[in-house]
A = this chain, B = another copy of it.
Amino acid sequence: MILRMNETSSTAPRASGARPGGRSARVQAAVHQAVNELQATGRDAVTVPAIAARAGVTPSTIYRRWGDLAQLLADVAVSQMRPDTLPADTGAYRNDLLTWLDQYRDEMSSELGRCMLRDVLSAQGRENPGRCVSFCAQQLDTIAERASARGERPVRTEVLLDGVVAPLIYRILFAAETPSTDDVTRWVDAVIDREA
């Protein structure tokens, strides 16, 4: 098992009080939204004072809560990567895998996806990258559980992470060309053949 985590949020204070809807939550939402809006208008515009102004808070609030720009961007990126729906159920294990993984490839290899990966890795602290793997593993686990329920024999999630997700992300981060749907298919089939 590579990593599993289950925290709900990342930098939310939550010390004693602070329920959802409290002042902290409002500030966090406003800041996240401000970051997303500024990301759209070019990378250079994303600066702490600019974010603060747009979110209607002071820079010191951001610095005190997130530490620095890199950690704020990482926090926003992770919350964007959190899956909001279950993987589609196509009725067959291999097809579920191909469908979800190709969508993952598509999202992660986009300009926005690459930025999110970079933001997550650029900040110090190992929690955020761990959360990415965790989100991914959760979705793959869901697909595997459905396969088991159908009587199919799914591949271990760890093997999928090593055999498909890893080359996918490695190439997105390091290689000149982003991987294709065919690459994903090839990797998935290799893993399924090997484990079968």
* Interface residues of A, Cβ cutoff 8 Å to B: 2-3, 43, 118, 121-122, 124, 126, 129-130, 132-133, 161-163, 165-167, 169-171, 173-177, 187, 190, 194
Question: Can you list 5 A-B contacts with CB-CB less than 8 angstroms, sorted by A residue number?
Answer: A121-B122, A129-B175, A132-B174, A162-B167, A173-B173
Picked from B130, B167, B175, B177, the residue with its CB within 8 Å of the CB of A175 is B130
B170 and A166 within 8 A (CB): yes
Residues of B within 8 A of A43 (CB): 124
A129 and B174 within 8 A (CB): yes
Closest to A126 in B: B176
Residues of B within 8 A of A174 (CB): 2-3, 129-130, 132-133, 169
Q: Given the interface contacts A167-B166, A187-B162, does A175 sit within 8 Å of B124 by beta carbon?
A: no
Residues of B within 8 A of A163 (CB): 163, 167
| A118, A121, A167 — most chain B CB neighbours (10 Å) | A167
B166 and A171 within 8 A (CB): yes
Question: Apart from A130-B176, A132-B174, what are 9 other A-B pairs with CB-CB below 8 Å?
Answer: A118-B121, A118-B122, A121-B121, A129-B175, A130-B174, A133-B174, A166-B171, A169-B170, A170-B170
Distance in angstroms from A36 CB to nearest chain B CB is 19
Distance in angstroms from A128 CB to nearest chain B CB is 9
Residues of B within 8 A of A166 (CB): 166-167, 169-171
Picked from B122, B169, B170, the residue with its CB within 8 Å of the CB of A165 is B170
Distance in angstroms from A192 CB to nearest chain B CB is 12
User: How far does the alpha carbon of A2 sit from the alpha carbon of B174 in the complex, in Å?
Assistant: 9
B121 and A175 within 8 A (CB): no
Residues of B within 8 A of A190 (CB): 194
